[in-house]
Every structure is written in structure tokens, then in C-alpha cells.
Amino acid sequence: MNTHTSTCLNRMFTYNILDGLKVEITIQQNPYEIPLEDLFLMAARVNKKRSFLFVSKVLGKHLPIKPIVGMQVGFLLAARYMEVVKATPPRDSDRLISSFKNHTKGYMEAFIEEQHCPIVIGFAETATALGHAFFEAFRKADFFHTTREWFEGVEPTITFEEEHSHATSHRVYVEKELLESNREIILVDDEITTGKTALNIIRALHEKFPRKTYTVVSILDWRSHENEKRFKELEQELGITIHTVSLVKGTATEIGGIDMDEQVIQESIPEFSQHVSFHRIENPDLIKIGSSAKGGYTRYTGRFGLTSKENEEATNWMKKVGEDLAGLRTGKRSLVLGAGEFMYIPMKVSSYMGENVFYHSTTRSPIFPTQREKYGAKNRFSFLNPEDPSIQHYLYNISENQYDDIFIFFEKRVDKSQIQGMLEQLKRTYIPNIRVVYIE
């Protein structure tokens, strides 16, 4: 049995993000010795609450990834969880680490035994797929992710805030019976900066559904000593235990700063002929919520709760969908795009679509784009969210002629008028074939 000690490195790195803005990072723990350049790039946020962003190279949010990477990082976090919290590292953890580092396909079957049966919660919007991937490492568990959506006529089970985010309110829509137990809750996020979001949801959960143990899992953990102290204080206040697990632990300090204007000059739209086609996928497990027209969703996203058994059914369905869509590819290199919180299904489907298929998604997060070496947002496409035109959405890092076709996934039916703004922006890529895939 192999274990990986959390050696204190205290190695310091300085990232020159933009003129006038630097971030100094000190790495304290990196037990799997993953090179930082394999995990993230840096960029400037258009957000007065925090002016920089770790742009993940493994999540499939702002940068394209091979879909297997997005699933492997979830399994890698699950392996680390077993080492840190349960003191029982998986037998094949070294093989999983090697597969992740070398971008090769490793084993992707659940490896955590049924006696460990937690409730796993992924944070919207960036960590919905990461939370789902982490959950898949368990042979028996339940999963759901928080959402920024509001459903008319439905009272959320809990709500909580994420202060530093561009969209701060989180809601949970699952049956109360799921949370009425003493099972361990594992919260999965891509990054912890201060830990306030995790503490907020723990408070909200504990007020209605108290239990003894919570675990916060993230790829990156940048909490300062003061931030870590707040976790200890909440443990003492509520009489609970909070475990923390990450792949990299350190501190991040902003040096300088910039007055970032949210207005970014958009490039002109070229006269370019796109071929746009729509492809309906039958909803395999319809769930209705609320009284609004937003109505039907598929249970397989996990937004409303998902068991391991249901997830097995979902995987079989996604495999078939991916194999069917592979026949629509028109070239050697394809991009699959998720939409906002709808990340895991398109990511996993894309893993069954053949070679040279890449994945990422749209986002609410405004990042300042610039053509700078090792910068996390080389270009930006801005448009109204096709499913909610009151929300601005963005897409990053698609170069001209980079792909032969793009598959855009939506959780529900959309028509061409809804996605016209997005399609206009995508003309700047000079990619000829746009395939809109929706579930109904």
C-alpha cells in the first residue's frame, strides 16, 4: 500500500499576470508532485472583489481539455481523500497519478468500497463536473450539485452565498430526506481561496441537517493561517469535524492591482457562412420541477440528486449518445461545449466521441482577455445566455480554424433565435460546422 506524505515545500513562485498585477504563490504541500503548469494558468478577473483567477487546465471550464482529464482529476481527488481522511490509500493510486500526469487513459471504475457512503456536493458553476467525477469514484454514494438557478414555486432546501463570485447566490433543490442522516458530507470545489463559501454551506446545512463530519475537497487550497483558523473556530462552535483535502496547498498573495474595466472591445463579426444543425437527444429520465416554463430536466445531471445506481444507468446512456454523435463529426478535430452548470454530461459524452475531441464550457465569469504568453484567456466571446437572456455568458480560448466542428450541448431544447448571439460570436472562429445538441 502506497502513501504520499504531505511534505512542506515552501517553494515560492511569482506570476506576472498583467502590468501592475502580480500574484505571489508559496507551495506548502504537493503530495503527488504535480507540476503547477499542468494545473492552471493565471488571468485577470473583471471583478472588484478579487482581481485574479486561477484558470484551470483540468476542469474543462475556460480552457479546452481532453475529457478523460476532467474525469481523472476527480478520481485523483478521491484517492487523496481516502489517504487523508480514511488513511486507506487506493491500491492503484500510483497508476492513477501516472495516468493523470502523462495524459493517458487509466482505470476509471469506482474503487472506493461500499462501506464508505457519503453525500457528495459539487459547487456551481465551475465544479459541477468535478464533483460528479469525484462521486463516480465511490461504489455507493449520493451526489447533487448546487445551482444558481431559481425555480418558480419551489422553495430551496438550503441557500448560501459565495461572496467573491460574480454570481453569489447558491441554491440546493434535493429532497430533504437525503440530508436527514448522519452520513458524511463531502463538498467539492475547484479551489479554496478563503474558505468562506465552504463555511457558509456548512452553516446552512448544519442549521437544518446537523451531523458530525464534513469534508471540503478541492484541487487548490490557498487558505491563509487566518482562514484556516476560521475552520477551527466553526468546528468548536458547532461541535463538528471538518476535514480538508487538496492536491496542492499553499498561499496566494496579490501584489499591486489594476482598475479593470469590464468593457472589452469585441472584434468585428466577419462575413462567414456557418452550417448550423440541431440534434435532439431523448431525455432518459425526465424530472419536472417548479411551475415555470423551465419545466423539464434530466435527472442525470445530478442537480436534483443522483444515486450511484442511477449514475450507472446514466453512464450507459452517455456512452450510447457519444457513439451516435461520433458519426456526425466532419473532420479530425472537434470541440464539445457545455453550457454554464451543464458540464458533466457533455464532458463524459465527448469522451466516447473518438480521438481528438476536446471539451470546455461557457461561463458567467468575466475575464480580461489578452494575447500574452502563458495567460489564461487569449480571447473572449461574449453573448447572452441562450437559456436565460438576463445573464451574460462568456466563452474563451477558441482560435481561428482550431476545430473542424463544434458541438454545443444544452440541457433543454433551444431554437436558433435563442443562440443567435452565440452563433454570431462563433463566426470569429471560422469553424464551419456548428451542431446544437439538446435533451428533450
Please give the helix or strand (H or E) that residue 411 lies within, else none: none
Q: What is the pTM of this model?
A: 0.94
Task: Choose among 409, 417, 415, 431: nearest CA to 325.
Answer: 409
Q: Are residues 188 and 329 in the same domain?
A: no
**Claim to verify: residue 84 and residue 214 sit in the same structural domain:** yes
Do residues 305 and 184 share a domain?
no
Identify the domain boundary among 215, 249, 283: 249
Is residue 25 situated within a structural domain?
Answer: no
The DSSP-derived string for 330-346 is -SS-EEEEEBTTB-HHH
- Segments of the chain with pLDDT less than 50: 1, 164-167
The pLDDT value given to residue 1: 46
* Same-domain check for residues 308 and 362: yes
Check whether residue 157 and residue 216 sit in a common domain.
Answer: yes
SS3 call for 131:
helix
Domain housing 180: 68-249
In this structure, are residues 176 and 61 in contact, taking their beta carbons and an 8 Å threshold? no
Residues 131 and 209 in one domain: yes
All cell numbers assigned to 347: 464532458
| CA dist., res. 315 & res. 426, Å (int) | 30
Same domain for 424 and 326, yes or no, is yes
Spatial separation of the C-alpha atoms in residues 330 and 254, rounded to whole Å: 45
Grid cell digits, residue 296 = 423539464
For CA atoms 240, 246, 248, 252, the dihedral sign is negative
Residue 267 lies in a domain: no
- Give CA–CA dist 412/288, Å, rounded: 12
Q: Do residue 290 and residue 241 come from a single domain?
A: no
Task: Give residue-wise pLDDT tens across range 284-331.
Answer: 888 887 765 555 789 999 999 999 999 999 999 999 999 999 999 999
**What is the pLDDT, as a whole number, of residue 400?**
95
DSSP assignment of 90-120, as one string? -TTHHHHHHHHHHT-----S--B-TT---EE
Task: Tell me whether residue 3 is in a domain.
Answer: no
Q: Which residues contact 186 (CB under 8 A, 6 or more apart)?
A: 81, 118, 119, 120, 121, 134, 214, 215, 216, 217
39 located within any domain? no
pLDDT at 165: 47
Number of domains in the chain: 2
pLDDT per residue as tens digits for the range 106-146: 667 899 999 999 999 999 999 999 999 999 999 999 999 99
- State which of 199, 233, 249 marks the end of a domain: 249
**Residue 18 DSSP class:** E
Examine residue 30 and state whether it is found in any structural domain, yes or no. no
Give the CATH number of the domain where residue 335 resides: 3.40.50
Looking at the DSSP assignment, which residues form a beta bridge with residue 392?
A: 384
Same structural domain for residues 131 and 85? yes
- Given a contact cutoff of 8 angstroms between Cβ atoms, the answer to whether 184 and 118 are in contact is yes
* Boundary of a domain, candidates 249, 267, 293: 249
Give CA separation, 229 vs 193, 200, 233, 243, 244, in Å.
14, 15, 6, 13, 13
> Has residue 23 been placed in a domain?
no
72 and 217, same domain (yes or no): yes
For residues 231 and 87, state if they share a domain. Answer: yes
CATH of the domain at 127: 3.40.50.2020
Is 282 within the bounds of a domain? Answer: yes
Residue 58 lies in a domain: no
Query: Are 334 and 419 within one domain?
Result: yes
